Structure 1
Amino acid sequence: MSLAPRSGSGTDAAEAGGRHGGGGRRRTGRPPRRRRVLRWSATVLAVVILGTATAGYLYYRHLNGNIEKGQRSSGDSKAQKTAPNAAGQTPLNILLIGSDSRNSDENVALGGSRDNRGNPPLGDVQMLIHLSADRKSAAVVTIPRDTRVDIPKCTDPETGKTYPATNDIINTSLARGGAGCTLATWQNLTGVYIDHWMTIDFAGVVSMADAIGGVEVCVNQNVYDRGGSGLKMKAGTKKVKGKQALQWLRTRHAWGSDLLRARAQHMYMNSMIRTLKDQNVFTDTGRLMDLAEAATNSLTVSEEIGSVKKLYDLGMQLKTVPTNRITMTTMPNVPDPLDANHVVPAGADAEKVWAMLRDDVAFDKNGKATGSKKTAGTEKASSDPAADDAEIGVLVQNATRSDAEGAVDGRASELAGLLVEKGFTRAAADLTGGLSEEKTVIRYPSAELEGDAQRIAKSLGIPLSSVKRSTDVSGVTLVVGADWRTGTSYPKKSAPKAGDIPESADAINGSDSGQCMDVYEPYRW
C-alpha cells in the first residue's frame, strides 16, 4: 500500500517523472512561478503599451484641438511662387503677425486700453520669415506698423463682409479680412509669395516666454518705460519671461521710436533662437510638451498648416538653420510725405530687399558660394510662337506711382508710342491711371498669348521673369512700374549677391550675442 506523499513532494515527483519518463503523475495544478511571472509581465507590458499609445493619441488629439485655423488669403493678390532651384527645392515664406487684440480679460490685463475691448484687432507686429530653398539660411523682415501701403480688396472669411481696396497704414489690414488680408497686402507690396501665416496675441507671447524659460536681453542704461509698456530693468543683461518679456516686445517710447522697437524685437528673437538651440528641447520630453502646449494654445495659423504634425515639421526645418545664417532686418523706409507719423518703403533699398527674397538670395555672407542664384525655369522661353509684331495687341498701363512718389504723367502713352515705332502697331495706352506697381511686369491671360507677351518683353529688354500669367487682364498688358519712371530703355540691374543688403535694413545676425539697446534719455532712471 502506498503512502500519500507529504505536502510539497507531489510536485517534485511529478516533475521528476516528467523529466525522466517514469510513472509519476503529470502536474495538473497551478503553472510554475517562472511562467506565471512571464505571463504577468507580458500582460502588464501589453497594457502599458496600449495605455501609452492611447494616451499619446489622446494628447495628440488634444494638441490638435488647441490649434485655431483660418483662411490663408482673403484678398486680391498676384504674387506667384518662386520657381524651384536646380534640386527641385523652393523657399518657404511665413508671415508672423502680433495682434493687439483685447478681446479677452487676459489680453486686457496685459495690454491695457480697456476702451479698445471688442474693437477689431490691429497687426502691430508683422515679420516675414524666409527659409531658403536649400534650408541653409533664413531671413526675417519686419514692416513697421505705421507703414502706409495699398491694402487690396479683402473679404472676411468669418463674417463674409467685403472691404474695398484702400491706402492706409499696414497694421489696419488685420481688421479688414483677418490675417489673410495682411498676407495679401504683403504679397502685393513685395511680390513675394507667402506660404503660411501665424498670429499671436499678448497672452500667447507671455505663455510662450514662460514655456521657453526666459530669454536674455540687454540695455545699456537703466530703463523705465513709464506711461508705455511699463518695462523697468537695470542696465546690463537680464533674462526676461512672462509679462516682462511682453513688455520688452511692446516697448517703443523708451527706445525712441517704433523703428527701434523692431530692433529690440529682433534682438529678442535671435536670443530666443539661441536659447532653444542650447536647451535641446527636442530631446527633453517635458520641455517639449510644455512648448507644444503653449504653442498650440497661443498660435492661430493658416489652415494648410493647422495640425501638430505640420507645425512640428515646420519647426524641424527651421531648426536646421545655423544661428550665423539667420538675419533679422527692417524694411528700408523713409518718412511719409503725407503724414510725418507714418513711413513708406524707401524706393530702391526696399525693392532690393524684396528682390533678394523673391530670388532666394541669402541675407548673410556665411554660406558657401553656389554660383548664380537664378531659379530654374525663370528665363524659359515659351513654346508658343508669337504672332507677327503688327498683329500683337498690347495695352500699356502707367503704374509708376509708389508710396514715396506720385505717378509720372504720360508714361503709358510714351511707351505705347515706342512700341508702335518698333512695329507693334496695335499697342495702345490705358489712360485710366491710379495704378501702383514697384516693378514693371507684362501680364497675359492664357497660354496661347504667352509667346506674344514674351515677344513684347524681348523688344523692350524686359527680363522674361517679369512676364506673368494673370486672370486680371483680358489681353497682353504692359504694366510700367515705379522701377521705370524715365527713358525708353528698360533699366538694367545687376542681380543682388549674398549678404548685399542695404545698410538701411538695420541687419542683425543671429549669432551676434553682443547686441544691447540704448535707452532714450527721458526714460532712464
Structure 2
Amino acid sequence: VGMDFAGFESMVDEVGGVEVCTAQPLIDYELGDVLPNAGTQRIDGRTALNYVRARNVESEGNGDYGRIKRQQRFLSSLLRSALSNNVLLDPGKLNGFVNAFTSDTFVENVKTQDLVTLGRSLQNVDAGAVTFLTIPTTGTNDYGNEIPNDDAIGAIFQAIIDDAPLPGEERAEPVTPEEPAPAAVPDAPLLAVDPATVSLQVSNASDIAGMAQTASDELAVYGFQILTVGNFSGTAAQTVVRYSQDQEAAAATVASAIPGAAIELAPSLNNVVEVVLGSNYPGYTQFPTAFGTQIDPTQVEGTTQSAPLPEDLSYTNAADDTCA
C-alpha cells in the first residue's frame, strides 16, 4: 500500500486530529516552526504531515533517527485515537476512515471491504500490545550508510514469527476454559511422502560455514523443494527437522535423509519444513525413505532455541504517551 501526502492529511483529519506532545518546540530549518509551542496539543492533518517528515531538527542531532522516533510516537497516538474514539467499533466512522485512506492510496489486489475487515479485526487490540522497533545497525560504512546488524534483525523477525513478546509490550493473559481431555486415539503410522511435495528451508546452526548450501544442494537432488538457505537465528543442540502440526510425515521423510537427525514440532513454520543443521551433522545426506513406506522418526522437544533479542533495541510502545 502506498499513500501520498493528501491521503495522510485526510486520514488524520478523519479521526479528528491526533494528539502529540513535545518537550520543546519542534523547529525544522526547512519546514519552519512545525510546533512553535512545547507540550501536549492536537494537530490536524497538514501539521501532522510536517511533524512526521521533519528531518532537519537541530535538537535531534541525527535527523533520520529523530524522525523515526516521531513517526513511531505519532502512529502510537493515532492508534490510541482510533481506539478511544471508537473508530473501529462504529461502522460509520470506520467506513469514513477507510474511504479517506483509499481515496489517496495506491494498492494492488486490495479492496475497500478488505480494509474494513482488517479494521474490524483490530477492535479488541490493546495499544500496549503494539510495539514499533527500529532495525538495529552496527555503525556506518565508508559512504556513511548504516550497516544492518543481521544477527539482531534475525532475532527480531524470529520473535515475531514465534509470537514472542517484544520489548515494552504488555499482553493480557488469555483465559482459556478448561475442556475435558479427549479420549486417547492410537496414532496412525507415519508414511513417507513424495519429496517433491515438501518445501524446505535449510539453516546452518553448526560452526562450519557453507554447510547449509552443501546440504540443500544434496537434498534438492532427491526432489525436495528448497525455498531458502541461510544461518539459523539461535542455537541447536543437534540436527533437527522442524515442522508444523500437519507436516510431521514430511519432516520425518526429510529426517530420514539426514543421518542422526530428529524431528521437532515448531507451530510457527506453517507449511514449511525447516532443516536445522547442528554440530552433530555428519556432512552428508542419504536417500530418504521410499514414498509410502512406514517411517518411525526420533521426536525431540526444545533442542532449538531462538536467539535472544538484543538488550539495546530502540522501540516505542503504542501505550506510551510520555512527552518527549
Q: Could you say whether these structures have the same fold, taking a TM-score greater than 0.5 normalized by the shorter chain as the test?
A: yes
Displacement of 1:461 after TM fit? 5.6
User: What secondary structure sits across from 2:125 in the alignment?
Assistant: coil
User: Aligned ranges for residues 2-401 of structure 1 at < 5 Å?
Assistant: 198-227=1-30, 231-254=34-57, 255=60, 256-281=62-87, 287-288=93-94, 290-303=96-109, 305-308=110-113, 310-337=114-141, 339-347=143-151, 349-363=152-166, 364-368=169-173, 383-385=190-192
CA displacement, residues 430-482 of structure 1 (integer Å, 9 cap, x when unaligned): xxxxx962438979xxx997543123568246746499978xxxxx99686xx
Displacement of 1:318 after TM fit? 0.9
User: What secondary structure sits across from 2:79 in the alignment?
Assistant: helix
Change (3 A) 1:461 1:273: same
- Residue number in structure 1 paired with 2:290: none
User: What secondary structure sits across from 1:334 in the alignment?
Assistant: strand
Change (3 A) 1:288 1:460: closer
User: Aligned ranges for residues 381-460 of structure 1 at < 5 Å?
Assistant: 383-385=190-192, 411-412=210-211, 437-439=230-232, 451-456=252-257, 459-460=260-261
User: What secondary structure sits across from 1:216 in the alignment?
Assistant: strand
Change (3 A) 1:335 1:264: same
CA displacement, residues 176-230 of structure 1 (integer Å, 9 cap, x when unaligned): xxxxxxxxxxxxxxxxxxxxxx322222111111212211112222221113687
Aligned partner of 2:210: which letter? R
Change (3 A) 1:213 1:333: same
Distance 1:301 1:274 in 2: 25
Tell me if the contact between 1:229 and 1:247 (Cα under 8 Å) persists in the aligned partners.
Answer: no
Distance 1:319 1:515 in 2: 26
Return the structure number with greater relative CO, CA threshold 8 A, min gap 6.
2
- Residue number in structure 1 paired with 2:197: none
Unaligned residue ranges in structure 1 (runs of 5+): 1-197, 372-379, 388-396, 401-407, 417-424, 429-434, 471-475, 517-525
Structure 1 vs Structure 2: percent identity of aligned residues? 24
CA displacement, residues 287-326 of structure 1 (integer Å, 9 cap, x when unaligned): 55542431221333341x4133x22121011121122222
Distance 2:212 2:92 in 1: 67
Distance 2:212 2:306 in 1: 30
Distance 1:386 1:312 in 2: 41
Distance 2:257 2:39 in 1: 60
Tell me if the contact between 1:381 and 1:464 (Cα under 8 Å) persists in the aligned partners.
Answer: no
Tell me if the contact between 2:88 and 2:119 (Cα under 8 Å) persists in the aligned partners.
Answer: no
Displacement of 1:344 after TM fit? 0.9
Change (3 A) 1:385 1:335: same
Aligned partner of 2:128: which letter? N
Tell me if the contact between 1:442 and 1:457 (Cα under 8 Å) persists in the aligned partners.
Answer: no
Aligned partner of 1:494: which letter? Q
Distance 1:489 1:426 in 2: 14
Displacement of 1:332 after TM fit? 2.9
Change (3 A) 1:508 1:381: farther
Aligned partner of 1:384: which letter? L
Tell me if the contact between 1:333 and 1:344 (Cα under 8 Å) persists in the aligned partners.
Answer: yes
Distance 1:238 1:399 in 2: 50
CA displacement, residues 45-75 of structure 1 (integer Å, 9 cap, x when unaligned): xxxxxxxxxxxxxxxxxxxxxxxxxxxxxxx
Tell me if the contact between 1:274 and 1:323 (Cα under 8 Å) persists in the aligned partners.
Answer: yes
CA displacement, residues 126-145 of structure 1 (integer Å, 9 cap, x when unaligned): xxxxxxxxxxxxxxxxxxxx
Distance 1:361 1:477 in 2: 19
Aligned partner of 2:118: which letter? L
RMSD over equivalenced CA pairs, Å: 4.8
Larger radius of gyration: 1
Change (3 A) 1:502 1:383: same
Displacement of 1:341 after TM fit? 1.5
Unaligned residue ranges in structure 2 (runs of 5+): 177-186, 195-200, 222-227, 234-239, 243-247, 283-301
Distance 2:145 2:105 in 1: 30
User: What secondary structure sits across from 1:368 in the alignment?
Assistant: coil
2:313 aligned with 1:505, yes or no?
A: yes
Aligned partner of 1:245: which letter? A
Tell me if the contact between 1:457 and 1:463 (Cα under 8 Å) persists in the aligned partners.
Answer: no
Which structure has greater strand proportion?
A: 2
Aligned partner of 1:454: which letter? A
Tell me if the contact between 1:209 and 1:242 (Cα under 8 Å) persists in the aligned partners.
Answer: yes
Distance 2:212 2:116 in 1: 53
Displacement of 1:508 after TM fit? 2.4
Displacement of 1:267 after TM fit? 0.8
Change (3 A) 1:297 1:323: same
Tell me if the contact between 1:328 and 1:509 (Cα under 8 Å) persists in the aligned partners.
Answer: yes
Aligned partner of 1:269: which letter? L
Distance 1:263 1:275 in 2: 18
Distance 1:287 1:469 in 2: 38
